[in-house]
Chains A and B, each alone.
Chain A
Amino acid sequence: MSVFFSAFDQVMSVMHLSYLMLGVVIGLVVGIIPGLGGIAGMSLLLPFIYGMDPSVGLGMLMGLVAVVPTGDTFTSVLMGIPGSSSSQATVMDGFPLAKKGQAARALSAAFLSSMMGGVVGAIVLSVFILVARPVVLSFSSAELFMLTLLGLSVVASLSGGSIFKGLAACGIGLLVGTIGGAPATGDFRFTFDIDYLYDGIPLIVVGLGIFALPEIVSLLIRNKAIASEGNELGQGLGQGIKDVFKNLPLVGRSSFFGSLVGAIPGLGGSVVDWMTYSFAMSMSKDKSQFGNGEIKGVIAPESANNACSCGSMVPTILFGVPGSGSAAVFLGGMLLLGIQPGVSMVTTHLDLTYTIIWSLALANIIGALLCIFLTRPISLLTYIKFSVLAPIILTLILFAAYQATRSLGDFVALGGIALLGVMMKSANWPRPAFLIGFVLSAGAENYFFQSIQFYGDSWFSRPGVQIIGLLIVCGLFLPPLFKYLKKKKGDSNTPEPAVAHYSADIWIAMVFLLTGVVFAYQIWDEQMLTQAFPMMAIGLVVFSAAFVIYDFMKNRGLIASTTEVRQGLVYVAGFFVMSYLYFEIGFLVTTFVFTLLFIYFFAKGGVVKSLSISVGLLTFLIVMGRVMSVDYPEGLLDPYVLSVVNLI
């Protein structure tokens, strides 16, 4: 117990606090800028860290790692850009809220629940870390495989009207996730001899392509401010805080769940937001608002992702195996500080562990408070005409995507996924299903083969496997059962939403079918372990796509015309051209020229406005390049700009 308080004393020292603040501020900045995440922030901090007093250095590191999932909420809510993989589910309802003019409400609710999630996570961590070792070790590959299945089962509730659309989308996600090396054999699949594809498509590129770009396209087509419905901004802030207090049980559940999932190495935090999102949805009486701006859809994933980053400290500290991307960064920092992770962290170095935990809680609180403070001015962005924001957002998205692998492939993959995203959005196909399939693909395949190789057929008789299996069955069958019973009682007030059929359905289903056939042809000759999993995904795609087509034919009379799809595709084509220019001419020059021309001609912004925005954006990029040693595609002209900049 004394360790507990001496660590607290340590954390509260001025020195520690000020470095923690530094970490928090850097964490917020890199969190707000999409695509950077903890890794870029870390490279900023590392030069300081080497040779620092461990407990102070830990505070700074912790400040950084803890607030990244808080800061990334800004772009998720305001622009529909998932800043990192942990804030993808926040986009689902946060962005529709911003469109309704309730950005401040969504943000303040998000930040408060982040803070609570972080604190709950830290509390869970402080108890759990002492007993976690056997618990973590009891999650073998078999249990991890079941957990990926639990994640995949979420697709059912996120599919909205049509379960087959959801399954097809999920199947395509699984299939795209198998691009690259096969885990069980090391063979490469579906690379089409393109170097870029050997590693698979990066998650951030998929997230941006499936969510952010389609939103931008549809906003550009309408060309108004993001917040199309007027609303008093000032009220939103308080409302969001009230919303959180109204949903305290949800915050508690999500945070608790988040910290536990984070604690299990191997699953990572990338699906915990979707899982809690779908739990929040299945627990609510009124599901109709989910996806259209339901505040619970913001609160649940935001509480979970901060808690999850606390939880992911368990495997990092105890086993030296990071539970997530930012935990990997934290681990590197620990090693540089000369702290060895392992059992000693709960025996001889318990004080350091509690320093970490206290810093974590404190950083979460400070980070969220700073964000709430910033909410009001930043939410004003949503009242700006969208065409003025568009070039800034486009630059940010390209910037974020390019940080994934720094090649033209990032832009091409982004455009390709965006094509799919635009089509799916316009015909109301569940895009989260695609993303969840993609995220869980590698884990599902890997853990499946591993558990078979380690345990043979006996893997499904393990108690952990059966418990999780039971959970999946309950999650899948209880909600429809309740619905059915309710209907029987006759008190269904809410009319069933009519399953809409869109004219583009048939095209999307055909594209999926064709993809399935091409991929199947590609992998036909490979050995069993290489082709088994992709073949299962292909089977799922072909089966569900065929069903969608059948359903479409049957309901030919009820088809709604698809909105905006043709215009959307034109914009994506435009995106391809632009991203090529960004790459070939140079990122800085193209950003400047494109922003200037776009705002002047398209948004009719006037000389002063267009000049000041484009100069501002250019300055931002140059400063980022300098301070964070971020790279841009240099192209033909950028070297000149850079050499001029070097003169100053």
Chain B
Amino acid sequence: MKKLTHWAVSALTAFSVTAATNVMAEDSPVPDTVNFTVPFGVGGGTDVWARFMAPNLTSHIDGEPTIVIKNQPGGGSLTGTNLFYKRAKDDGSSIIGTSASTLFPYMLGDKRVRFKLDDWTPILASPTGGVVYVQPDLGVESSKDVGKLLDQQLKLASQGPTRLELPILIALDLLGADVKPVFGMKSRGAGRLAFERGEATIDFQTSSAYIRNVKGLVEANKAVPVFSVGVMNNEGNIVRDPAFPDIPTFEEAYYTVHGKQPSGMQYDVYRKFLAAGFAFQKVIFVPSDAPSDVLAAYNKGVREMIKDPKFKAEAAVQIGPYQNAVGLDIATYLSDAVTISPEMYTWIADWLKAEFNYKL
């Protein structure tokens, strides 16, 4: 019955489309209207990112499809992503934009996750960086004094044990800092407010939020940056973030304290979540079932888009001075980033249990 319905609908739609748009001779494989699912509410970070991308995508994809943004918030993006997995059309007219909070539950085996990332093709990934900063009264005057953080208890206002702060919490623990996270913040912005109120003594923001809201605090001597998470270069090494060339990376901070490079299981897990949460912070996916010429058209479109100087200039303001990743290789990198080995899974499960009494 379902098949029959589907057939009848597509026949009717096909008829209606041919009847109505016969005149449109534009030979583009991408459908005229594309539904862009954003599994977050209007006005949030991912929504603003998607709304920035949508018109740029339209003007670079052949046939200039109309892109309609559909917000489907809930479950920290899992509700909307699950629904997309269930309902997305396989003709390329449905695409989705995800965020770190979509990937982390997937990696941690959250039982609410009903989608499989392998069934989707990523066409664009927007990376971000992030900076950890502390209150000036902790005795840390610059990032060189990072060692002084280790002999005091630090409070970090966090959204929850498995949210975007996860790699930061792992990193600080690796560094040897005694961090006591206070969970239940509504957003990273609420966490920053707790820092500004003086409740939290250490905080962390992604690049755009740091530039927007924390730089001013640093200039007014109300915050001291300690380290950034850095960016990965082409050789796969973490180097200083181009947005914050003066702030050392976590690896440098670790070296300052311990006199050697970080290594071992905990560092591997950190790198894993860092890649998923920051290098692939926002990703646009198209279901892989879509016809290959549609996927090719999307890929061609985003390639042209990221070369466009106008886009580059605007993107630097909107999402930071990072190179958006496109092309077929991001699929490989992404699937590598979100695959967790059983040993790593056991480690993170034990760590979450021991640190925060959180059961995976």
A positions within 8 Å CB-CB of B: 39, 42-43, 46, 50, 137-141, 181, 183-187, 195, 198-199, 265-266, 315, 319-322, 328-333, 335-336, 338, 340-344, 405-407, 446, 449-450, 453-455, 527, 629, 631, 636, 639-640, 643-644, 646-647
Listed A/B pairs (18) with beta-carbon separation below 8 Å: A46-B42, A183-B184, A185-B358, A186-B162, A186-B356, A266-B190, A319-B196, A319-B213, A321-B193, A330-B43, A335-B43, A406-B83, A449-B184, A450-B199, A453-B155, A646-B13, A646-B16, A647-B19
Given A42-B42, A342-B216, A629 contacting B16 (CB threshold 8 A): no
Q: Would B189 and A321 count as touching, CB distance under 8 A?
A: yes
B16: A residues at CB distance < 8 A: 643, 646-647
Q: Known A-B contacts: A39-B71, A449-B182, A643-B13. Give 7 more (CB < 8 A).
A: A185-B357, A321-B189, A328-B42, A331-B43, A406-B72, A640-B9, A646-B20
Q: Does B160 contact A (CB under 8 A)?
A: yes
Considering the chains assembled together, what is the distance between the CA atoms of A644 and B212 in angstroms?
49
Q: Would B183 and A184 count as touching, CB distance under 8 A?
A: yes
Contact check: which of B19, B180, B358 meets A187 at CB < 8 Å? B358
- Determine, out of B44-52, B89-97, B292-300, B324-332, the stretch whose residues face the partner at the interface: B44-52
Given A183-B183, A342-B213, A336 contacting B41 (CB threshold 8 A): no
Which B residues between 1 and 25 are near A, CB-CB below 8 angstroms? 5, 8-9, 12-13, 15-16, 19-20
Q: Would A181 and B43 count as touching, CB distance under 8 A?
A: no
Which B residues between 160 and 180 are near A, CB-CB below 8 angstroms? 160-162, 180
Q: Does B354 contact A (CB under 8 A)?
A: no
Most buried by A among B71, B180, B184, B187: B184
Which residue on chain B has the smallest CB distance to residue A331?
A: B43
A343: B residues at CB distance < 8 A: 216
Interface string of B62-75 (1 = CB under 8 A from A): 00000011111111
Q: Would A186 and B161 count as touching, CB distance under 8 A?
A: yes
Most buried by B among A315, A406, A454: A454
B190: A residues at CB distance < 8 A: 265-266, 321
B216: A residues at CB distance < 8 A: 342-344
Given A329-B43, A629-B68, A647-B19, A336 contacting B359 (CB threshold 8 A): no
Given A185-B358, A187-B359, A336-B52, A141 contacting B189 (CB threshold 8 A): no
Q: Would A405 and B74 count as touching, CB distance under 8 A?
A: yes
Considering the chains assembled together, what is the distance between the CA atoms of A265 and B197 in angstroms?
12
Considering the chains assembled together, what is the distance between the CA atoms of A265 and B192 in angstroms?
12
Considering the chains assembled together, what is the distance between the CA atoms of A636 and B2 in angstroms?
9
Considering the chains assembled together, what is the distance between the CA atoms of A185 and B162 in angstroms?
10
Contact check: which of A140, A185, A335, A644 meets B197 at CB < 8 Å? A140
A202 to chain B, nearest CB (A): 9
Considering the chains assembled together, what is the distance between the CA atoms of A647 and B162 in angstroms?
48
Which residue on chain B has the smallest CB distance to residue A319?
A: B193
Considering the chains assembled together, what is the distance between the CA atoms of A640 and B157 in angstroms?
51
Q: Would B180 and A453 count as touching, CB distance under 8 A?
A: yes
Q: Would A186 and B75 count as touching, CB distance under 8 A?
A: no
Interface string of B316-360 (1 = CB under 8 A from A): 010000000000000000000000000000000000000011110
Considering the chains assembled together, what is the distance between the CA atoms of A646 and B19 in angstroms?
11
B80 to chain A, nearest CB (A): 9
Q: Does B194 contact A (CB under 8 A)?
A: yes
Q: Does B256 contact A (CB under 8 A)?
A: no
Most buried by A among B51, B68, B73: B51
Which B residues between 100 and 118 are near A, CB-CB below 8 angstroms? 112
Given A199-B74, A335-B48, A186 contacting B160 (CB threshold 8 A): yes
Q: Does B245 contact A (CB under 8 A)?
A: no
B16 to chain A, nearest CB (A): 5
A644: B residues at CB distance < 8 A: 12
Considering the chains assembled together, what is the distance between the CA atoms of A46 and B52 in angstroms?
11
Q: Would A181 and B79 count as touching, CB distance under 8 A?
A: no
Q: Would B213 and A450 count as touching, CB distance under 8 A?
A: no
B92 to chain A, nearest CB (A): 19
Q: Would B43 and A184 count as touching, CB distance under 8 A?
A: no
Contact check: which of A266, A328, A342, A631 meets B41 at CB < 8 Å? A328
